[in-house]
Amino acid sequence: MQKLLISILCSATLVLGACSLNRFPWVHRIDIPQGNIVTQLMVNRLKPGMTEAQVRFILGTPLLVDSFRPDRWDYVYRNQHPDGKVDESRVSVYFHDQRLARITGTLQPKPKATPTQPPEQLVEVPPREIVHRGVLEKLWAWIKREK
């Protein structure tokens, strides 16, 4: 009876102790991004007087829209790296008469920033011939096991 009690106690100690270990060196950890990715380039494209639709086109759908103040949109981004480092950015956009009035947060528009366009890449797609086969041709191909 005493051996059973000791073995149960040791097993319980090992199981509960294993739950507290969460940093194994061989376990792969991933970045955990949350929220809207807002870059300095995106914020630089914002100009006072823009409509809500234009701001939404540039920054995307806001993460938070205050139900008591619908003229304020919040864009929050948080990225937790595997080493524990956390990157956070917050941008609040305020509207007056459905026009952009001001921007607050960690990213501010830089007035003398050089206007850079996002990279564009043109891909040439070769034309392909579309073959329309009838029902009997498809049936005959299925019978012959051709695809």
What is the C-alpha separation between 6 and 12, in angstroms, rounded?
10
Residues 28 and 54: beta-carbon distance below 8 Å: no
- DSSP annotation of 79 reads E
DSSP 2-50: HHHHHHHHHHHHHHHHHHH----TTS----EEEE----HHHHHT--TT-
Spans of all domains in the chain: 30-113
To the nearest 10°, report the CA torsion of 17, 22, 24, 26. 130
CATH 3.40.1710 fits 30-113, yes or no: no
Tokens of 9: 């106690």
Residue 23 is predicted with a pLDDT of: 65
In this predicted model, what pLDDT tens digit does every residue of 20-70 receive, in sequence order? 666 667 777 788 888 888 988 999 999 999 999 999 999 999 988 888 888
Write the pLDDT tens digit of every residue in 98-112: 999 999 999 888 877
What pLDDT digit, counting tens, does each position of 68-91 carry?
888 999 999 999 988 889 999 999
Q: Which pLDDT does position 4 carry in this prediction?
A: 80
Cβ-in-10-Å burial (0-12, 13-18, 19+) of 73 comes to buried
The answer to whether 69 touches 29, Cβ cutoff 8 Å, is no
Phi, psi for residue 27 in degrees, rounded to 5: -85, 130
Q: Is the pLDDT of residue 147 over 80?
A: no
Residues 6+ apart with CB under 8 A from 133: 141
Please determine, for residue 94, whether its predicted confidence score (pLDDT) is greater than 60: yes
The structure's pTM equals 0.60
